[in-house]
Amino acid sequence: MKVSAVVLAAGRGERMKESANKVYLPLRGIPVLSYSLRAFAAIPEVDEIIIVTRRGEEGLASRIVRDIARPTRIVPGGKRRQDSARAGAEAASGGVVLIHDAARPFPSPSLIGRVIECVERHGACVPVVPVADTVRYTDPDGFLLADRIERKGLLRMQTPQGFLRDRLLAALAATVETITDDASAVLAAGGRVATVPGEETNIKLTTKGDLLLGEALLQAGIVAREDRNG
């Protein structure tokens, strides 16, 4: 089945507290968005890449896309992440779509490969990593609540999340509440979602500290800048 990668770059990056959208900030001299585009372009099974952008930022994205050796398309996103995901999936021509946060620059080739294989088998698939810290809620004043949250079995959701395109579109169309990943839409629609192991290095750049961590991972050679363009 044809595979489309949909890279979501249409956010504001407010928590990064920079004037520019975080996906265009340089990471060791290259915009954050470039990393995931190169990662997908290096995977032979990925047939096309859709980049979902904020209005007014199409030019920034098209400059980055120039050196990506895959059919690429830039489409406008929406107000919420799920609106952007829907716009991207609608523009995709593949029977399989991989929805990825541009804010995650380091998905490895093997991670992308695992997700593709898993979605072809199960129809919906998410990379996950176990939660290592103790987790708790606080009250509105910042004091801990006594309720224990069982950490065992608790997982963090990463991207790319892979879906049969039609199944994802139906689920997103039916979702009214605000969600932060695409598996949430499929689950709310009653669908089953399989998992594959994610990666600790597949970090999401949310705050300035994450940028420093990303720089350090690159510097140490723990993650690679994908220079091949498939």
Q: Dig out the tokens for 64 from the structure.
A: 């980055």
28 touches, from ligand CTP, Mg ion, none (C-beta below 5 to 8 Å by class): none
13 touches, from ligand CTP, Mg ion, none (C-beta below 5 to 8 Å by class): ligand CTP
With CB atoms as reference, the residue minimizing the distance to ligand CTP is 11
**Residues interacting with ligand CTP, by CB under 6 A?**
8-15, 23, 52, 77-81, 84, 101-103, 204, 206
Q: Dig out the tokens for 156 from the structure.
A: 């963090």
Q: Cβ of residue 12: shortest distance to ligand CTP, in angstroms?
A: 4
* CA atoms within 13 Å, Cβ hemisphere of 202: 24
Whole-number Å distance between alpha carbons of 38 and 227: 7
CA geometry: angle 172, 177, 181, nearest 5 deg? 55
Whole-number Å distance between alpha carbons of 196 and 10: 26
Q: Cβ of residue 52: shortest distance to ligand CTP, in angstroms?
A: 5
Contact 9, 32 (CB under 8 A): no
Q: Cβ of residue 11: shortest distance to Mg ion, in angstroms?
A: 5
With CB atoms as reference, the residue minimizing the distance to Mg ion is 11
Select 108 or 206, whichever has its Cβ closest to ligand CTP: 206
- By CB under 5 A, the residues from 10 to 29 that bind Mg ion are 11
Q: Cβ of residue 121: shortest distance to ligand CTP, in angstroms?
A: 26
SS3 (DSSP) at 148:
coil
SS3 (DSSP) at 87:
helix
- Write out the residues near Mg ion by the rule CB under 5 A: 11
